[in-house]
């Protein structure tokens, strides 16, 4: 999920009552969701990014391309927030993309995914698509999922399968082409989410407690100290989005079928 820069609109992926995959918007203050598009080429939209001009959504779709002629999995599409058909972006060198984020000035897209031989990786690619460049590939990354890039172009990616010092479920910080563990033992939801506060001082990840209750794990980006904020109404912490220019966060609960807003 993503928010517009002022935090007034939340964009998220979901299924229609008929089971068609789509992209929706809803006022951050609450209200009725509106379908930007549904059905068509989208089968399993997994992640969203919003351009700096708030005009274009980039969506990672895990289900497509549903073709027998390619051995690659997953695709990127651009969709105008005003609606319309998705346009598939060329994405060379990336298999099974799972997360998407713009960098600080929206001059590039960061893509979490896999190399052709199945190694976890993070890439960059032009906003219009093209050949991707690997930023990090292989261990410690295993199966990176959601990705977020802060205002200093530090990338954070959550990885369900990676095992860190405190267990499975790792937050990696990626700078200078190196992924380092920022936190581990995270009971992530699926697909999982990561976001930072507007100035990048804290990283926020929706997680679950050992007993299965929802919570927000807040990690100090400077010293990696973690604190927990209870969110008992959160059943499955599936994702998180943050507005670029405000302190508004939104967390999606895929099992509870709800979106929560936090400021």
What residue ranges bind other proteins (CB under 8 A)? 44, 62-63, 66-71, 73, 96, 98, 118, 143, 145, 160, 163, 166-169, 184-185, 187-192, 210
d(CA 174, CA 256): 32
Closer of 118 and 177 to other proteins (Cβ): 118
CB nearer other proteins, residue 161 or residue 229: 161
- Residue 167, phi-psi category: left (phi > 0), alpha (psi -120 to 50), beta (remainder): left
Q: How far is the CB of 238 from other proteins (least distance, A)?
A: 9
Identify which of residues 31 and 212 has a Cβ nearer to other proteins in the complex. 212
Burial of 163 (C-beta count, 10 Å sphere; 0-12/13-18/19+): middle
Could you give the C-alpha distances from 45 to 21, 38, 153, in angstroms and in order? Answer: 7, 10, 25
44 versus 151: smaller Cβ distance to other proteins: 44
In angstroms, give the least distance from the CB of 171 to other proteins: 14
CB of 224 to other proteins, least distance (A): 15
CB of 102 to other proteins, least distance (A): 22
Residue 151: CB minimum distance to other proteins, A:
29
Please report the DSSP string for 131-197 in residue order.
Answer: E-EEEEESTT-SSEEEEEE-TT--EEEEEEEEEETTEEEEEEEEETTEEEEEEE---B-SS---EE-
Nearer to other proteins, 3 or 170 (CB): 170
């Amino acid at each position: 999920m993503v928010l517009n820069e002022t935090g007034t609109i939340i964009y998220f992926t979901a299924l229609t009552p008929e089971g068609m995959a789509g992209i929706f918007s809803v006022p951050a203050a609450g209200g009725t969701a509106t379908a930007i598009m549904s059905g068509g080429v989208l089968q399993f939209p997994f992640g969203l990014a919003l351009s700096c001009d708030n005009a274009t959504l980039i969506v990672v779709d895990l289900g497509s391309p549903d073709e027998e002629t390619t051995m690659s999995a997953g695709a990127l599409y651009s969709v105008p927030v005003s609606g319309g058909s998705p346009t598939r972006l060329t994405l060379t060198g990336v298999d099974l993309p799972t997360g998407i984020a713009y960098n600080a000035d929206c001059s590039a897209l960061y893509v979490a995914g896999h190399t052709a031989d199945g190694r976890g990786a993070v890439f960059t690619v032009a906003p219009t698509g093209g050949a991707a460049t690997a930023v990090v590939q292989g261990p410690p990354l295993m199966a990176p999922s959601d990705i977020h890039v802060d205002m200093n172009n530090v990338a954070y990616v959550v990885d369900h399968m990676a095992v860190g010092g405190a267990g499975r479920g790792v937050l990696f910080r990626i700078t200078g082409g190196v992924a380092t563990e920022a936190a581990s033992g995270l009971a992530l939801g699926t697909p999982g989410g990561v976001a930072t506060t507007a100035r990048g001082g804290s990283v926020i990840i929706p997680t679950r407690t050992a007993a299965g209750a929802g919570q927000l794990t807040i990690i100090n980006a400077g010293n990696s100290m973690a604190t927990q904020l209870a969110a008992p109404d959160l059943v499955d912490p599936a994702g998180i989005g943050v507005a670029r220019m405000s302190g508004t966060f939104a967390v999606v609960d895929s099992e509870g079928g709800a979106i929560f807003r936090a400021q």
